[in-house]
Structure 1
Amino acid sequence: LEALNQVKAQDSKIKIILNSNGMSISKNVGGLSQLLETLRTSKIYITIKEKLKKGLNEAVEFELKKIREALKVALIGEDFFESIGLKHFGPVDGHDLRSLEEAFKQVKDYPYPTVLTVFTIKGKGYHFSEQNPTKFHGVDKFDPDSGIFEKPDGTYSYSELFGTTLTKIASQDDRVVALTAAMPDGTGLSKFAKQFPERFVDLGITEQSVVTYAGGLATMGFKPVVAIYSTFLQRAYDQIIHDIALQNLDVLFAIDRAGLVGTDGPTHHGVFDIAYLKLIPNMKILTPLDGQDLANMLWTVLKERGKYRGPIAIRYPRDVEFGNLEEICGKIEIVEPFKWQLLVEGKEIALLAVGVLAKKYLDIAKANAWTLIGVRSVKPLDEEMLEKIFETHKYVFTIEEGAELGGFGESVATKYLKDYADKYECRLQVVGIRDEFIPHGTRYELIKYVGLDSTNIEQIIKKYVMKGVRL
């Protein structure tokens, strides 16, 4: 909107093609989408427009454009784009190439900033995607003949678990409110939205507004839960700092797609959230070790909000896990969310693995008699356990599915140098995602690509300890 507002003032001749299909990822919401939908569904206007065009040559049709546009206003109402100084043409059938070519020729040399509205059907050409465009927005492997996605039997996604758990909590606490930015399906909140529509807020692709809205709810005594993908939460960074953290408001951020997201591609990798959140005062960051841990953390934070105050982020991956959602919800319990977990007790070498990565290293830790710590809280650090690790081990490796620069390992290194270097002699190494953008691939492929698979972790630790090879 800020850019559109400046177009006329800059004397621009820009041509904007507005593809309107009634969808972003999920169904569109908000005033602008309603305006476009009115235009889309105005069959009277579209029918009259087509009849006007038939039998008229191009020159006459162009000269009569003012009559047609006046007709549009009369039937539909004032045009938003025209009101801010942009000439608005259309709608045009986006699946009719001849009509598109004609419209493009018409607006190409128009001496003013111009918007051409093109109507399309999301998923056009494939029956199953037309029927369920949200599901087919970004896909993993599926059978093209049946439209059925490949998913191992007996598994659930972290997004499904989040939505199911939050719905259960909300059924017992009417102060819980779920918010998202055009992602009710992707974040697992569709069930919540159906069961508690009055406590579900979807503001469209407006992450900044969603975060500020949540802050307002927190000041009124509600328990807002903001579910946004890690990469999209970056858009609301200013609001997180000023509207939430500065006021130390009780907003829970459910950060989906944290870490490597696989087939969503390089724009969606959630590898920066630890770095950009942990430097914010009052912010706390939790990293559950598995699905049960995620459910327990959600339950604990929301049930005991008076104990765990201020903004809290819980980050979890785009991944599936074997298990049963009903069984997990049936075993939910209050936990100590900011305490790390000793998974394997060894000697000399300790691995501090963040979140769901930790259990990937169980076998190598047992085989080599290494200590393995499941890091459930990135901020604050579990200082009691951390000091014990420094006291009893010669080598400490931090491992995280996030950027090394500004990440968890950097926090541990800083803590060691500041408080423990004079007390304990320990060699510390940080393992994470290096200073580069990660390409497209499956999650399994990308874990190996960045060197976080258990085979590579075992090799680099042995090389470093035995030969002094730096990582």
Structure 2
Amino acid sequence: MLIKPGKLLAQINSPSDLKKLGKHQLVQVSDELRQFIIDNVSVYGGHFGASLGVVELTVALHYVLNTPEDQLVWDVGHQAYGHKILTGRRDNFHTNRIYQGLSGFPKRKESEFDAFGVGHSSTSISAALGMAAASKYKGDALKQHVAVIGDGSMTGGMAFEAMNHAGVSDSNLLIILNDNCMSIDPNVGALKDYLTDITTSHTYNRVKDDIWKMLGKFSKFGSSAQEIISKLEGAIKSTLLKQSNLFESLNLRYFGPVDGHDVDHLVEVLRDLKDIPGPKILHCVTVKGKGYALAEKDQTLWHAPGKFDKITGVIAKKTYSTPQAPKYQDVFGHTLVELAKDNEKIMGITPAMPSGSSMNIMMKEMPNRAFDVGIAEQHAVTFSAGLATQGLKPFCNIYSTFMQRAYDQVIHDVCLQNLPVVFCLDRAGFAGADGPTHHGAYDLAFFRCIPNLVVSAPMDEEELRNLMFSASLHEGPYSIRYPRGQGVMPEWRTPMREIPLGQGRIINEGEEVAILSIGHIGNYAVEATAILEKEGLNPAHYDMRFVKPLDESLLHEVFSKFKKVITIEDGCLIGGFGSAVLEWMVDNGYQAQVKRLGIPDEVIEHGEQIELHRECGIDPEGIVQTVRSLSTIVSSLK
């Protein structure tokens, strides 16, 4: 079902069409854009609240800027749906996040209007500053460079690094702080409190409009305009706001706060700021989920609710006739609380993903033992290391794709010191519709090369519980990775037991071909062997559990018995589990025909997990085909 746009929105195929409208029509455009997003996401799913919150800002930016010549960078990209719709992708927007459709995030190869590909937070200021520095170097003084960043993303250290550089760059950069007090979950930390102080200072807000009018007419002051206004503005802010120097101490001209839902005023402000050179920041106050009452009320739930009835607000849920397996993240959350009740040393840490990782379960039951540190993966790891030095047992839960941002801290602050930090990597493997920026494709490869670090992956919920219990007893760094979504065990609350370090297990004793799997993807191998048994084929199946250390006794058994071996992983082939097995085979003098199945050396786009597994040949049918290709029985029948 294609969603029809409103009357004005139907005329806009690019920002040039938007500019043909009168300024008085922008309110209607904003209303139609917001409704179009609501209509589409309710039917097709996707991120929701963030894009509703920046509708007016999006319209104003494309109305004032000369995109794509002017560079507009969106941080993360959850809020970029309106941007996509206004830049030629309206009629294809229904394919958003669908296999082979539009990406859910800005993507350079998708549109010239997407100045920078994004998916992880806190990158926008650095990227836009780089663009601004390039324009300055090339002598293009009129080109605009804008980074739109949320207050949640602003907590990331990289954003502060970029602002620190921007303040001494003298580049034409505008940072727009979209302040809604939310990322996915409510924001935490001192920055949130600081921004609240600014937005609630009645004295400052009474005066700042007068200051703004002077800034908008600065040309009347002649050549000394900048000096006069800078002194006046700084003096008033210093008098009225005791903490007002946070941004200005970084040499960023601060403007605002302004109402991020007043499109007329935003247009005036952005036009004025185009004429003010140098690095500057505009503070816009918005409401995440604006225009849809339920999303405004519960912003965490409506960050990405899936399909829903836009009239009643009822979120679509699948109904089942039989009990269903839980999500791995929930098994983690409940198991962590169980472990913590028996072990007072256990602590929980997550970087701004308490609901996404289910750390919120521990935060609710044991608020003094669970920490949300904001969008700050590097800090989360080293903070965990600090806890570990004091005899505590931190469980640091970070999505696999975000763990990439804290790689140095894992090596330098945890593993070199052999500290007992447990890394729980959620969303390992394919992340689904979030696409390549969120796929957890590389952790097996980049973790297994680090000294002292155990690298493991459970095949099911019982194994996750057992590995968490085992990790709590281990005196050193330990990683456990598991996928997004459901497991396979409706009755998952099993008694926990210790798994000896590096010990795998036999799932099926077979003949001719041995399948070695790591993690949840091993359940596909179970399905495949069931199919093959009906054809008279009986491959063996081993769940290795550990990539590091490998179960050497089990591998001796495999390579002594089998000359045809298949390794299966939902991680990158280069340097991953299959590579580890091949290295072991060579080092131990064995020879066998080994076929590695996993994620190839290319970018795999977005789609449902099974669609992406099928594309890579690691779905049940792909495994079946591989076994057939190695089987002498099948070969003799050809």
TM-score (norm 1): 0.91
2:190 aligns with one of 16, 26, 31: 31
CA distance, structure 2, for counterparts of residue 438 and residue 277 of structure 1:
21
Q: Deviation string for 1:213-262 (max 9, x for gaps)?
A: 11111111100110000010111111111111111110100000000111
Deviation at 1:200, TM superposition (A): 1.3
- C-alpha change, 1:338 and 1:138, in structure 2 (3 Å) is farther
Query: Which residue pairs with 1:277 in the alignment?
Result: 447
* 2:315 aligned residue (148, 151, 159): 148
Residue 140 of structure 1 contacts residue 263 of structure 1 at CA under 8 Å; is this kept in 2? no
For residues 601 and 488 of structure 2, the distance between their equivalents in structure 1, rounded to whole angstroms, comes to 33
Q: Alpha-carbon deviation of 1:267?
A: 0.5
Give the residue type in structure 2 aligned to 1:127: A
Matched, 1:13 2:139: no
Note closer, same or farther for the CA distance 1:208–1:359 as it changes in structure 2 (3 Å cut): same
Q: Distance in 1 between matches of 2:357 and 2:241?
A: 35
Matched-pair contact (CA < 8 Å) for 1:404–1:434: yes
Q: 1:342: Cα distance to partner?
A: 1.0
Q: How far apart, CA to CA, are the structure 1 residues paired with 2:467 and 2:488?
A: 19
Q: Please report how far the alpha carbon of residue 11 of structure 1 lies from its aligned counterpart in structure 2 after TM superposition.
A: 2.2
Distance 1:178 1:90 in 2: 37
Residues 180, 227 of structure 1: 8 Å contact kept? yes
Q: Percent identity?
A: 38
Secondary structure in structure 2 of the residue aligned to 1:270: coil
**Deviations 1:5-62, CA, capped at 9 Å, x for gaps:** 12232222311111111112222122222211222233443355458879x9953899
Contact 1:139 1:263 in 2 (8 A): no
- Quote how far apart the aligned CAs of 1:400 are: 0.4
Q: 1:60 to 1:380 in 2, by over 3 A?
A: closer
Q: Note the C-alpha offset of 1:65.
A: 6.4
Kindly state the Cα deviation for residue 361 of structure 1 after the two structures are TM-superposed.
Answer: 1.9
What aligned pairs does 1:84-233 form with structure 2 within 5 A after superposition? 84-144=250-310, 145-151=312-318, 153=320, 154-233=324-403
2:246 equivalent to 1:80? yes
Verify the 8 A CA contact 2:306 2:315 in the aligned structure 1.
no
Match of 2:461 in 1: 291
How big is the shift at 1:382?
0.7
More off after superposition, 114-123 vs 245-254? 114-123
Q: What is the CA–CA distance in structure 2 between the aligned matches of 1:311 and 1:322, rounded to whole Å?
A: 28
| 2:520 aligned with 1:361 | no
Q: Equivalent residue for 2:588?
A: 419
Q: What letter matches 1:93 in structure 2? A: D
Match of 2:575 among 395, 406, 413: 406
C-alpha RMSD of the superposition: 2.4
Q: In structure 2, what residue type is equivalent to 1:336?
A: P
Residue ranges of structure 2 left out of the alignment (5+ in a row): 1-159, 222-227
Question: Contact conserved, 2:399 with 2:428, CA < 8 A, in 1?
Answer: yes
User: C-alpha separation between the residues in 1 aligned to 2:326 and 2:465?
Assistant: 13
In structure 2, distance between residues paired with 1:382 and 1:121 = 53
Please state how far the C-alpha of 1:139 moved relative to its aligned partner: 4.6
Q: How many residues align?
A: 458
Note the alpha carbon deviations across 1:146-197, whole angstroms, 9 max, x for none.
Answer: 3424245534211111011101111121110111111111110111011111
CA distance in structure 2 between the aligned counterparts of 1:61 and 1:33, rounded to whole angstroms: 35
Equivalent residues of 1:338, 1:380 under 8 A apart: yes
Specify the alignment match of 1:340 in structure 2: 504
1:434 aligns with 2:604: no
Letter in 1 for 2:262: D
Distance 1:173 1:235 in 2: 30
> C-alpha displacement at 1:79, in angstroms?
2.4
2:497 partner amino acid: E
Range 441-450 or range 80-89, more displaced: 441-450
Letter in 2 for 1:75: L
Residues 186 and 98 of structure 1, relative CA distance in 2, 3 Å threshold: same
Indicate how the Cα distance of structure 1 residues 51 and 427 shifts in structure 2: closer, same or farther if over 3 A, else same.
same
